[in-house]
Homo-oligomer: A and B are copies of this chain.
Amino acid sequence: MVTRERPTLEAVARRAGVSRATVSRVVNGSTTVAVAIRDAVKQAVEELGYVPNQAARSLVTQRTESIALILPETASRVFSDDLFFPAVIRGVSTELEAADKQLVLMMAGSAASHDRVERYAMAGHVDGVMFASMHGADPLPGTLARLGIPVVCSGRPMTPTELLVPYVDVDHLGGVAAAVRHLLATGRRRIATIAGPQDMVAGIDRLAGYRTALAEAGLPEQVAIGDFTRESGIRAMRVLLDGDPGLDAVFVASDMMAHGALQALRETGRRIPHDVAVIGFDDVEISRLSDPPLTTVRQPIVDMGRTMARQMLGVIDDRLDVPAAVVLPTELVVRASA
């Protein structure tokens, strides 16, 4: 590897006939430098193509100007046709770009990579760590926070971590309530649900919302569990139909699963929404492209990413007005499927 050696501060200083300290000042935009000298230095920087060595800089400043986003999922899951993660990344990315911070994206779907992430953060590679899509009571956010590393989560953490870590989440319960209300208002009475994984807050809260709403309406519940993927939606729908061939509606905790459910329903010859009404959750693109287009609970995924990133930037800059918890609204979007 022929790494041509890059010019150092020292080289620039010699060329401009000043000290290293002065060059450093100019490079870092200090105002206390005489204009003539500043220009000379800038010219030397230009001529030599000088770029500060980040490792050296970080060593003394204790700052890297980069921030990690941890997705406790495999890469194949993050980059599947489920557009949830991409939307989070987009939001985060937008905010960090504006703040001139580098995003370091880390998938941590296995125990090994989970470890790697921990070491990575502890090695001071990044100034802060953001988590999205947390499963179970992941101790990592808390661990890092206790070590003094700024941590922010998307999705309410399931551990007392919440005391240490600011987070952003959406109003799952409100969204589900609106969905079930809509089903009731359109005359449905045998309303099943395909719930999300019960080791994730989004899965738990949406199921709780369904239960509450059905209890209030005095209707019996019918629950099948999926893992937010299309495949699991297909399977869960079949299970539900086995249990009650006469069900007339299903609330599905994610659009991907709802997409699977539509397929499973069509395969049995049922017409949607005539025989069975279907409502999803997310409002990712696929819900508009599905057949029929999906009525769904919109959650502002991109905004979650943006909000989380802003919280992180606030924490890093030691701003005191960083809200410990932000809950964004959800909204029912009615399309043909219900």
Contacts and interface: CB of A to CB of B under 8 A. Distances in A.
Contact of A59 (B59, B81, B105, B286): B59
The 9 A-B residue pairs with the shortest CB-CB distance, nearest first, are: A79-B86, A4-B148, A55-B58, A54-B123, A51-B122, A75-B93, A3-B148, A55-B59, A105-B105
Contact of A315 (B1, B90, B97, B113): B1
Contacts of A212: none
A332 interface: no
Contacts of A198: none
A149 interface: yes
A191 to B, nearest CB: 27
Given A93-B107, A113-B97, A122-B6, A150 B1 contact: yes
Nearest to A77: B90
A104 B104 contact: yes
A213 B128 CA distance: 54
A185 interface: no
Contacts of A106: 102-103
Interface in A77-101: 78-81, 83, 85-87, 89-90, 93-94, 97, 100
Interface in A279-299: 285-286, 291
Contacts of A97: 75, 113
A111 interface: no
Contacts of A215: none
- Which residue of A1, A55, A317 has the most chain B CB atoms within 10 A of its CB atom? A55
Contacts of A76: 90
Contacts of A291: 291
Contact of A54 (B4, B93, B125): B125
A124 B54 contact: yes
A51 B119 contact: yes
A52 B113 contact: no
Given A59-B56, A105-B105, A147 B4 contact: yes
A64 interface: yes
A156 to B, nearest CB: 23
A97 B107 CA distance: 10
Contact of A83 (B54, B56, B81, B93): B81
Contact of A79 (B6, B54, B55, B87): B87
A200 to B, nearest CB: 21
